[in-house]
Structure 1
Amino acid sequence: MNFKPLDMDSKKLFDQFLNPYPFLVSTYNFTNLFIWRNAQNIQYAHTDHALYIMKEKENTYFIPPICKDKTKGKECYDSLLSFMDAKGFEKVLRDVSKSQLEEIRQLGYEFSYESDRDSAEYIYSVESMSSFSGKDLHSKRNHFNNFIRYNQYTIKHIEESKEECLALALKWYEDSNQSDALRHELTGIRTLLEHQEFFNIVGISVFVDDICQGFSLLEVLNEDVILNHIEKADRRISGLYAFLARTSMEYFGAGIRYTNREQDMGIPGLRKSKESYMPEFLEEKFIVTFH
């Protein structure tokens, strides 16, 4: 296998492999992979039948291959496992979904697995996120209403406010701990704003007193799910994050069943925030070790 780094030209190939599958999660989403390609040293290889993706955090690892023809699943997995053996990599797959776990079982492999809670993705009802209805979202509804009550604001589409959104992202980064992850995220934001149409990005910005104080960048994956890539706001403005989350769904969620706000990566504050929006469910992911 000849693995190589992602670039924008890779999207055409990824679309050929991924478009037939109505993914709910962001694991194979090209935009998501492209944003984090440098942070995780993401590379890919392909044959006529399969797409393979390799990542590197502490160690090199792989996610399950995507096979064009399900009848060639065993061949696709055998090729990957042989490559891992030849290179001396541990035979471990990460970000494995429940359906892929069952597929591996049906292919006859001997393996063990464990749940990876930090990588589980938060899936919400668009209907609930666009209204904050019900007692479970009472606090979010209050935050939303407080923002409206105490602020003079204007909503703009992203294409009308790219420079202002980037300026906010830069300020947000400068006021942060400036970690490597946030630096890569900032680069990703710049890329999505500069190539909005290429990545099929939609979104809104919120101006308070004529200054851009928040924005969201989203992507409609299919008729079932809209993926929330980026959400940034001035933390000092009470209720602005709740306003962004709800208003984004009002603008772009019509006719879509779910919105995916991705994983919490085991970060306590992020987990608390994502749980507070009351997800419909968590899309589990597993770590699989082949024997």
Structure 2
Amino acid sequence: MNIQAYPEFSPLKLEDGDEFYRALTDKPPLTSELTFTNLYCWRKPYNFKVSRLDGLLVVLSEINSDKKFFEPIGRGDIRSAIVKILKETKGEFIRIGEEVSGLFKDEAGIQIDYDRDNSDYLYAASDLIGLSGRKYDGKRNLIRKFKSAHEYEYLNLDASGIGECLEFEETWCTIKDCGSIKSLDNERQAIREMISNFSHFTLLAGAIRVNGKICAVAIAEKLKPDTLVMHVLKADPDMPGLYQLMCNEFLSRQKRDFAYVNLEQDLGVPGLRRAKESYHYLKLINKYTLRLINT
């Protein structure tokens, strides 16, 4: 056990993966943040640190002395752990799922705020694969037009082939000007980490090649036994229909294993919200912020 006991925190390390996977298997998460892949790959922008408290793993994001904690991971007395940390650190818990936030529904002295921008979109896998009915006419038409205009090859990717996607990510970032947009630059860094350390995670990946070049990528993993969480879903923006095809082709190959797909949050970005809503989600995985009320 390399993770320090609370109140000590240490930077999140790749070697911590085994402990996280055990805890996440013991109690599978509902929210997209709580995978070791996400936590490790985003550790630098968020300055993630980890500690152990009464059998639970506690992840802290500390930037300029501002302390934000994620929902404790594993089996244990989560309510007591959250109360203890709130009182001792004066920080706050962010992106907490409904099950845990519900523990504090009638708790005096704790404020609960709904976080719509970070709530996850959950879809029926069968809907995203079948694209049946009038509501998906637009998606089917885009895919049909792409197929009529391009010959393409679908690739199942593993650790030996995933590196080819780095060039695509750099091309995508050039088009989107990631260097001048902090959130996109942070995402680029996280995707590089994901690809460079692919063999250390439990990831599924696929890509589409057009004219000899990778032009679309999907990277995902099991969030819980019946749910796949999509970490990366990107396509060349100059190829209409390719994004929709990448999503459909990738999920079609996972259909035997998962009933639901979590496409993560929209971060309050209007275009991203419209895109996720256009796929007709089954429900939102609501998230909340918990903090002490100053008295």
- Among candidates 184, 202, 207, match of residue 186 of structure 2: 184
Write the distance in 1 (CA, Å) between the matches of 2:117 and 2:204: 27
Please state how far the C-alpha of 1:95 moved relative to its aligned partner. Answer: 0.9
* 2:86/2:291 contact within 8 Å kept: no
Please state how far the C-alpha of 1:289 moved relative to its aligned partner. Answer: 2.5
Give the aligned partner of residue 97 of structure 1. Answer: 97
1:81 aligns with 2:86: yes
Give the aligned partner of residue 216 of structure 1. Answer: 218
Give the aligned partner of residue 140 of structure 1. Answer: 139
Give the aligned partner of residue 225 of structure 1. Answer: 227
**Which deviates the most, 97-106 or 133-142?**
97-106
SS across alignment from 2:29 = coil
Give the aligned partner of residue 243 of structure 2. Answer: 241
Give the aligned partner of residue 18 of structure 1. Answer: 24
Give the aligned partner of residue 28 of structure 1. Answer: 34
* 2:226/2:258 contact within 8 Å kept: yes
- Among candidates 40, 43, 64, match of residue 37 of structure 1: 43
* 1:39/1:181 contact within 8 Å kept: no
Q: TM-score, with normalisation over the residues of structure 1?
A: 0.90
Write the distance in 2 (CA, Å) between the matches of 1:110 and 1:3: 26
SS across alignment from 2:37 = helix
**Which deviates the most, 128-137 or 40-49?**
40-49
What CA deviation, in whole Å up to 9, does each residue of 1:190-239 have, x standing for no partner? 22223323211111110112221111111123321111001121101010
SS across alignment from 1:228 = strand
* 1:35/1:185 contact within 8 Å kept: no
Please state how far the C-alpha of 1:276 moved relative to its aligned partner. Answer: 0.9
Q: 1:288 to 1:82 in 2, by over 3 A?
A: closer
Write the distance in 2 (CA, Å) between the matches of 1:222 and 1:97: 14
Please state how far the C-alpha of 1:41 moved relative to its aligned partner. Answer: 1.2
Aligned-partner residue type, residue 134 of structure 1: G
**Which deviates the most, 236-245 or 95-104?**
95-104
Q: 1:74 to 1:230 in 2, by over 3 A?
A: closer
* 2:32/2:223 contact within 8 Å kept: no
Aligned-partner residue type, residue 281 of structure 2: P
- Give every structure 1 segment of 4 or more consecutive aligned residues whose post-TM-superposition deviation is greater than 6 Å: none
Please state how far the C-alpha of 1:56 moved relative to its aligned partner. Answer: 4.1
* 1:226/1:253 contact within 8 Å kept: no
What CA deviation, in whole Å up to 9, does each residue of 1:102-150 have, x standing for no partner? 22347x5532222111001011110011111121111111111111111
Aligned-partner residue type, residue 45 of structure 1: S
Give the aligned partner of residue 4 of structure 2. Answer: none
* 1:264/1:274 contact within 8 Å kept: yes
Q: 1:67 to 1:79 in 2, by over 3 A?
A: farther
RMSD (Å), alpha carbons: 2.0
Aligned-partner residue type, residue 50 of structure 1: L
Write the distance in 2 (CA, Å) between the matches of 1:132 and 1:155: 19
Give the aligned partner of residue 252 of structure 2. Answer: 250
* 2:27/2:74 contact within 8 Å kept: no
Write the distance in 2 (CA, Å) between the matches of 1:224 and 1:196: 22
Q: 1:12 to 1:269 in 2, by over 3 A?
A: same
* 1:202/1:218 contact within 8 Å kept: yes
1:61 aligns with 2:50: no
Give the aligned partner of residue 286 of structure 1. Answer: 288
Write the distance in 2 (CA, Å) between the matches of 1:33 and 1:43: 10
Q: 1:63 to 1:162 in 2, by over 3 A?
A: closer
Please state how far the C-alpha of 1:74 moved relative to its aligned partner. Answer: 4.6
Give the aligned partner of residue 169 of structure 2. Answer: 169
Q: 1:134 to 1:24 in 2, by over 3 A?
A: farther
Q: 1:189 to 1:125 in 2, by over 3 A?
A: same
Q: Which runs of 5+ in 1 are unaligned?
A: none
Please state how far the C-alpha of 1:67 moved relative to its aligned partner. Answer: 5.2
Please state how far the C-alpha of 1:43 moved relative to its aligned partner. Answer: 1.2
1:115 aligns with 2:114: yes
Aligned-partner residue type, residue 24 of structure 1: L
Q: 1:104 to 1:181 in 2, by over 3 A?
A: same
